[in-house]
Structure 1
Amino acid sequence: MTDRSTATASRRRPFRRPAGRRARTFAALAALILPGCAALDPKPVTVDQRIAAFPTTGLDLERPVTLRWSDEQVPFIEAETDRDLAYTLGLVHAHLRLAQISLMKRVSQGRLSEMGGPVANDIDHALRILGFGRGSAATAQALAPDTRIWVEAFVKGLNDYQDRLARAGGPWPPEFGLLGIRAEPWTVEDVLTIGRLAGTDINWLAWAGLLRERARNGPQDPRWRETWARATDAGHGSVVSFPANETHARLERLLTELAGLSRTGSNSVAVSGQMTESGSAIIANDPHLGMSLPNFWLLAGMRSPSYQAVGMMPPGLPFVAVGRSPHLAWGGTNMRALSSELYDVSALPADAFRTETHTIRTRFWFDKTVTVRVSPYGPVVSDSEMIPSRPGEAIALRWLGHDVSDEIGALLGAMRARTGEEFRAAFAGRYAVSAQNMLWVDTDGHVGQVLAARLPVRPDGIPQDLVARAGDPDRDWARFVDAGELPAARDPAAGFLASANNRPTDTDRLVPIGLFFSADERVRHLQSVVRDTAPVSVDDLKRLQQDVTSDFAEALAAMLAAAARDAGVAGNHRSLELITGWDGAYAADAAAPVAFEVLLSRVAAGVYGGAEATDGRFAFASSWTQLNRYLAADLAALPEAERRRILEDGLAAADAALADYPAWGDMHRLRLSHLLGQAPVIGSFFTYGDWPVGGSRETPMKTAHDLVEELHAARYGAQSRHVSDMGDPDANWFVLLGGQDGWLGSSTFADQVPLWRGGDYLKLPLTPPAVAERFPRRLDLTPEG
């Protein structure tokens, strides 16, 4: 499925492995990792062959179940009991994504060394300290009876599918042999721990760079104070979705990967019936996650006495997170809420800490024993070599994900909800992490927004430091609020709601929600397009999901062009001509984005010292929010001669880059790889496609990247899409960047990529006649006996 344009093929060779090199590498590796050869060169498998491998008899069912499949291997389960639905979902998740969820289980438990060897020891130590499963046992004990029955049935389905493979002698997913994975029983705690991994606090990613700056300069140093002030100023001043009164490098890579499992970005738009062509409410969601294979979602439909829904499920978790029922449709964006706090616990007495001993089993090497210290405020994260801290300083993490909560029960309640009020009530008292702005629409044309979160009540205002002092009463968590107390929106006067990781509403007097929201540009762009397009159609929202315009890039380009002319930059620069009057559209075939990005990168390096600067400013100052807030003023503050030199150098570099990369898609690539694509030596075997792609870091169709001057691939972005029209229960469209099946070599492993690239969707209906037609492959599952 690899499709490469030829204009600059030679410059894209790094993404392609020559056939001869592949053969030599394969031969060398085969002797070492013979069990993994099936993963390196998988055999083609058809959808019919995959469906034929699904177990159908002797199952732990109460009543017979009908399991239908579409041509894309999307399942639709028809069960006579809720318990049978949950059990069959477990079978389906194991069938489609057993390798993926087995890998996620080991990541969540800090067991990468079992697969990757001693190079992963430090990462595993950090993961053991973070302790995603620290509260799983207590959470399992506290589950409501109906939720426990549901999760236990789901886990039974996972185990029964796995046991069938074991009794038959396989075939196991190809990754098992390559990574040395051995099947082991699944537990309720395993599923809850994967849920905590999916609920990773994405603020940790921002903290990683800030902690490095704080450790370098010290918490009292004026340079740190300025860094902290700029970070909170740029991150806290976001526009709101609705007014409250209307109702280290390895560490950063690790946190980026963990955040990729959480909803790091996303767009969601809910338009009321009064603003649509059809007169019915419409919702559009596109989660922004890591752009890798298998996709971080799988599609499914289901019907039982309590549930009828189609939508997107996180692999290994038994609920529809983004989707549609007969009564409501919903989707969420990450709230970027303050679900965590860092505390300096250095002054606590030694007996205030307890110590855990962990053995890290290590493939190809000796096992390693590590210790984890736990303070009254949480695990001491600075004990990891990957966490920057001052000498003698002990920093502990308090995270709501370590406490008892019931996100699965909350999402199950949302799936059953018939009204917006019931939808909001489903999250109250249950849902904690990761905090989500949940938008909903109903069949009566109403729209709403719910703040699905549990947040500690803190004093109003921005804290003076990233790290609190243990015992500071202003930073202790004494009381919490959740979706039942936090503001909510219903039928705003504007007739629609939009959310894009911006500040959801004004709640600081009740509880400060967060400090590091996304910049305004995505949410403002969504709002302006909906407002200007009304009456809105389904096709309008589909086009909006593919919008590659960055309003902030347009403004920054205009600023740089004006600065160059004001500084009297010499020479005729094609790059200056291109960015003058540019509308900020990152089309794959456009040249202006190349000129702008290279110029921006050079100017940022010139103003802030570049990556090699000894004061470390560049890594912090070159973030998109910082550049938009401060670059113009910081550039203008330089002496005129230095400013002119920086701009001339930047324009010359941009001119040169245009010769190598005539269009944005020649430089900016969609490189689709398996999760193993980053592995040394074997990673090149797991790249399945490399195409030009439009979009950028904060366009509605996000294809994120850092400052760039050369060939690169998008890191994460809009890797799935959903649109539902509430006027028709069958009018639901979804698409994944990838495919349904996680089995390497499957015909549905990446069959939706052409749809995603072409702006097309799969239609997934709800009504029985449409379901029977759309899902023509039928399996009849029968109970034991």
Structure 2
Amino acid sequence: MLILFRWLLRLTIGLIVLMVLSAGLIWYFAIRSLPDYTASYRVEGIAAPVEIVRSTENVPHIFGQSDEDVFFALGLAHAQDRLFQMTLLRRAAQGRLAEVQGPRAVAADDLARRLGLYSSARASLDAQDADTRSAMDAYAAGVNQWIGIVNADAMGRGAPEFFLFPDVITFWQPTDSLAILKLLAATGSGAAADEILRARLSLAWPDQGPQIVARAGLPAELPAYDSLFPGARLGAPERRLDPAALRDPFTFLDPGQPIGGNAFAAEPQRTAADASLLANDLHVGLTVPSLFYLARLQLQGGGVIGATVPGLPLVLSGRNPRLSWGVTPLDLDNADIAIEEVQPGNPDRYRGVQGWTRFQTRTEVIRVLDAPARTITLRDTANGPVVPGLDPGLGDVTPIGHVAALRWTGLSRQDTTMSALMGLMRAQSRDQAARTLAGVVAPALNVTLADRSRVTHLTAGAAPRRDPAHPTGGAMPAPGWLAQTGWQGVTPLTAAAERPALGLSLSTDEPATDDLRRDRLTRLLADREVHSRDSFIAAQLDIVSPAARALLPLVGANLWFTGDPAAPGTPERQRQDALTLLAEWDGAMNEHLPEPLIHAAWMAALQDRLIRDELGPMADDITRLHPRFIDAVFRNRDNAARWCNVVQSAATEDCATIARQALDRAILDLTARYGPDVTSWRWGDAHQAVHHHPGLGGLPALGWIMNITQSISGGEFTVARSGLFGAGAEPFQAATGAGFRSVIDLADPDSSVFITSTGQSGHPLSRHYDDLAGLWRRGEYIGMSLDPDLARAASAGITTLTPAN
């Protein structure tokens, strides 16, 4: 027994020593990849010395004697801090994620290959202007120089994640930057997904289904979807979305969560300091690190400062000495689904306008980590690539014996968007900016421009020209063999710059006629005669929900509690307490209050109860609240009150009954999760912002370390927007948020403020991994100046690059 005890003791001590040594080795190799921001490097690719001055928040201020040297240094700085993020974005655009992430990434790779993001980016390289080509070449050389330094100095492969993924870091190419821009454009376009949803709703209830997502700008009357394909067989719409997939941090192509944003500006007559103000925030999926990276570039035409995207050699939103600009996605229907009939007995041909036509086909191999490779056949038609995996619901609207193809402006092989955005960054006047924006193809953008004395608003992008005889106007998929469903070309959206009425300008990512957020922002700006930087910050951080203010008086009109209180602890008392709280609530989606949680749960349960009996399992796919639909139902607009009647029941329900039942259902669910005391519930307990690490965030142990989780205020329809997942076990968890915010005061440009949602570094052991996340949550910002003396005086480190020769 004593001998056994001794051996067990020795084994235990040995295991402990082994664990300590393993932890030490892991720490050593991981810490090796932390860059030294005070180092000096002799590098190839620059003509003169360059300085990268790091602020205390790790924002690089880059000073060089030529633009090429500055872009070289930007590429090196991006690679220092975000190399793993850049390689994942590149792989996503190439359709090569499965090589390092296994079978779960196959679907994303399949879609990227079918869209041809990388091939169209390669083809568009020659379409860029000379200055852009030069900047892209220099940027790629800077990225590659850092990769070379990492290899030469054994710096832990550049990021600790590379030890866990079998990734071979290949050198950066200019095409990689164009492909990432294509990827962002594809992610930001929800037009095709909207078409598919309308068609599915039409199949579920032809008379009323599309009413759920009705909006201005669509044809007044849409045909029943099945009438477009007489004689074809369509399956019954089913539940198609997987709530778990919505949270998959490997998903980059997610049209269900497109990029959004706000931009607003005031001319000098509406500002306290007699100069223009501009605010911009961009809403993206919450990841760690953030999609955005703050930087300052000292170009020959002047300094440029603002938000960059690692992998792209430009400042997307920011300012230079003479001009500031903010961008938001333009709500433009720039994509159509064409349903193609496959020739019976010959799967290599499809029905074209001129008759049966052969598909253009090619095969590609998707290599999969720890699984057999997948060989896929890619097919192209005159209307675009065949994309069976574009949307989970596409199978419902594709008749048997047919396939779906995608028309999308982003498939252009002469896409000059990169050059246009590069020109915007360099522009010294509004007119110059307007001219260069003519080259934007995709993503389509609202661009708000401001100099010291004036504000203008432009739209930029390529808009499809559709035949007036198009059977759906592009609102639903249509037969691809009909001549009238084809595009008649595209039109650049370079209308004359619009000067704002009353000195105020604003844009959001949603239609002006439908956007509750726009209405709230309009009111906030109009309520003050004179604005300041602080009032713009307050507007940008506003958490009042216009949807709550509009719907609660309408839905609860016959429910507000006025009688004697019910007995404590009863469901009736809970309902009374909830209604009392909501009656006195101002609509602020504050994380510390119970009212936002009650409201969100009630409206979600109400919408589900309205549509469930008509749509069946497909109701699970309606994950977003549609206030316009609920408003139409309770006002009985276009006989929409029909939705209140549960068709399977003998009784005829009215809307007040459905509203009360939905409230009771919501209270029951919240009680099961948060306890019976209504006043103790908190919106922040359910509304968590989980910034997912795109490589390790899904792993049980490492995900807890790598992800950043914060409770936040705001909601789907607040100006400070945080879109909800709307499905699964955590339906009120934030799916999107403002990855970047800025407020630029042109009376004192160096007092302008910026913030991103996490930190500048993607290295989990860096103090800059999450140092901005707390500021972002509290609605705070950091200053960024174009004054080189201020940058050097407050520097936390200066990296010096000198030419090798």
Partner deviation per Cα, 1:148-179 (whole Å, 9 max, x = no partner): 11111111111111122122333121111222
Change (3 A) 1:104 1:438: same
After the TM superposition, which residues 509-524 of structure 1 pair with which residues of structure 2 at under 5 Å, given as runs?
519-524=514-519
SS of residue in 2 equivalent to 1:249: coil
Matched residue SS, 1:381:
coil
- Could you list the per-position Cα deviations for residues 230-254 of structure 1 after superposition, in whole angstroms to 9, with x for gaps in the alignment? 534367599xxxxxxxxx3259848
Which of 77, 90, 96 is matched with 2:62 structurally? 77
Taking the aligned partners of 1:704 and 1:91, their CA distance within structure 2 comes to 34
Matched with 2:661 is 649
Asked if 1:502 corresponds to 2:504, the answer is no
State the AA in 2 paired with 1:156.
A
TM-score (norm 2): 0.82
Share of identical aligned residues, percent?
25
Residue in 2 that maps onto 1:227: 209
Tell whether 2:466 aligns with 1:458: yes
Greater displacement, 373-382 / 651-660: 651-660
Q: Which residue of 1 is the match for residue 497 of structure 2? A: 488
Equivalent residue number for residue 242 of structure 1: none
User: Quick check: 1:90 aligned with 2:90?
Assistant: no
Normalising by structure 1, we get a TM-score of 0.84
Aligned match of 1:754 in 774, 796, 799?
A: 774
Distance, in Å, in 1 between the alignment partners of 2:722 and 2:504 is 26
CA contact (8 A) 1:553 1:584 kept: yes
Range 87-96 or range 676-685, more displaced: 676-685
| 1:103 correspondence with 2:94 | no
**Which amino acid counterpart does residue 287 of structure 2 have in structure 1?**
S
- The secondary structure found in structure 2 opposite 1:280 is coil
Which residue of the other structure, out of 622, 625, 632, is the alignment partner of 1:623? 625
Listed one character per residue, the Cα deviations across residues 22-59 of structure 1 (whole Å, up to 9, x for unaligned) are xxxxx9xx99xx999959x9967998x6414x662133
The structural deviation recorded for 1:134 is: 3.0
In the aligned structure 1, how far is the partner of 2:319 from the partner of 2:694? 29
Are residues 1:363 and 2:369 paired? Answer: yes
Aligned residues of 1:722 and 1:735 also touching (Cα < 8 A) = yes
**Deviation for aligned residue 1:182:** 1.1
Whichever residue aligns with residue 592 of structure 2, its letter is D
3-state SS in 2 of match to 1:67: strand
Q: Is the 8 A contact 1:318 1:408 kept in 2?
A: no
Q: Partner residue of 2:399?
A: 390
For residues 213-612 of structure 1, the aligned pairs below 5 Å read: 214=199, 223-224=205-206, 226-228=208-210, 230-233=212-215, 248-249=240-241, 253=246, 257-259=252-254, 264-346=259-341, 347-348=351-352, 351-382=357-388, 386=392, 387-388=394-395, 389-403=398-412, 404-428=414-438, 430-443=439-452, 445-459=453-467, 463=473, 466-484=476-494, 486-490=495-499, 492-503=500-511, 519-564=514-559, 571-572=572-573, 573-609=576-612
Deviates further, 91-100 or 759-768: 759-768
1:727 matched to 2:747? The reply is yes
Aligned positions, number: 721
Residue 68 of structure 2 is aligned to residue 65 of structure 1: no
**Does the aligned pair in 2 maintain the 1:269–1:498 contact within 8 Å?**
yes
Kept in 1: contact 2:263–2:506 (CA 8 A): yes
- Report the Cα distance in structure 1 between the residues aligned to 2:665 and 2:609, rounded to whole angstroms: 13
CA contact (8 A) 1:36 1:176 kept: no
Name the structure 2 match of 1:767.
787
Amino acid at match of 1:547: D
Letter of the 1:182 counterpart: V
Deviations 1:63-114 (A, max 9, x none): 1112211111110011111111111111111111100010011111111211
Instruction: State the match for 1:148 in structure 2.
Output: 133
The answer to whether the 8 Å contact 2:47/2:69 transfers is yes
Distance 2:108 2:378 in 1: 13
Q: State the structure with more CA Rg.
A: 2
Q: Which amino acid aligns with 2:466?
A: R
Q: In 2, Cα distance between the equivalents of 1:536 and 1:646?
A: 44
Contact 1:437/1:452 (<8 A) preserved: yes
Shift of 1:725: 0.6
> Which amino acid is 1:614 matched to?
G
Structure 1 counterpart of 2:107, one-letter code = D
Per-residue Cα deviation, 1:765-785 (whole angstroms, up to 9, x for no partner): 012322322435223211012
Aligned to 1:716: 736
Q: Secondary structure at the match of 2:327?
A: strand
User: What SS class does the counterpart of residue 605 from structure 1 fall into?
Assistant: helix
Q: Which moved more, 1:186-195 or 1:703-712?
A: 703-712
Q: Equivalents in 2 of 1:80, 1:744: separation in Å? A: 34
Structure-2 separation of matches of 1:626 and 1:256: 29
Q: Which moved more, 1:448-457 or 1:384-393?
A: 384-393
1:674–1:686 Cα contact (<8 Å) kept = no
Task: Confirm or deny: 8 A CA contact 1:42 1:744 kept in the other structure.
Answer: no
Give the aligned residue type for 2:543. V
Structure 1: distance between partners of 2:383 and 2:791: 51
Assess if the C-alpha contact under 8 Å between 1:666 and 1:711 holds in 2. Answer: no
Determine the C-alpha separation between the residues in 1 that align with 2:187 and 2:777: 30
Cα RMSD (Å) of the superposition?
Answer: 3.4
Distance in structure 2 (CA, Å) of the matches to 1:95 and 1:401 = 30
**What is the distance in 2 between the residues matched to 1:384 and 1:716?**
21
Over 3 Å counting, the alpha-carbon distance change for 1:279 and 1:130 in structure 2 is same
Partner of 1:781: 801
Q: Secondary structure at the match of 2:410?
A: helix
Q: Give the deviation of 1:613 after TM superposition.
A: 5.4
Question: In the alignment, which residue of structure 2 is the partner of 1:511?
Answer: none
For 2:481 and 2:440, how far apart are their aligned partners in 1?
27
* More off after superposition, 616-625 vs 534-543: 616-625
Work out whether residues 285 and 721 of structure 1, in 8 Å CA contact, stay in contact via their aligned partners in 2.
yes
Query: Structure 1 residues 313, 426: CA separation in 2 closer, same or farther (over 3 Å shift)?
Result: same
> How far apart are residue 383 of structure 1 and its match?
6.8
Please state whether the residue corresponding to 2:498 is helix, strand or coil.
strand
Between the aligned partners of 1:37 and 1:357, the Cα distance in structure 2 is 44
Matched residue type, 1:693: I
Q: Unaligned regions of 5+ residues in structure 2, if any? A: 1-14, 221-239, 342-350, 567-571, 646-650
1:314 aligned partner, one-letter code: V
**8 A Cα contact 1:575 1:596, kept in partner:** no
- Aligned match of 1:175: 161
CA contact (8 A) 2:467 2:488 kept: no
Rounded Cα–Cα distance in structure 2 between residues aligned with 1:629 and 1:435? 30
CA distance in 2: counterparts of 1:483 and 1:385, whole angstroms: 28
Q: What amino acid is the match of 1:227?
A: G
Partner SS, residue 434 of structure 1: coil
- Secondary structure of the 2:442 match is coil
> CA offsets, 1:728-748, max 9 Å, x none?
231221111100011121110
What amino acid is the match of 1:393? Answer: H
1:227 deviates by 3.3
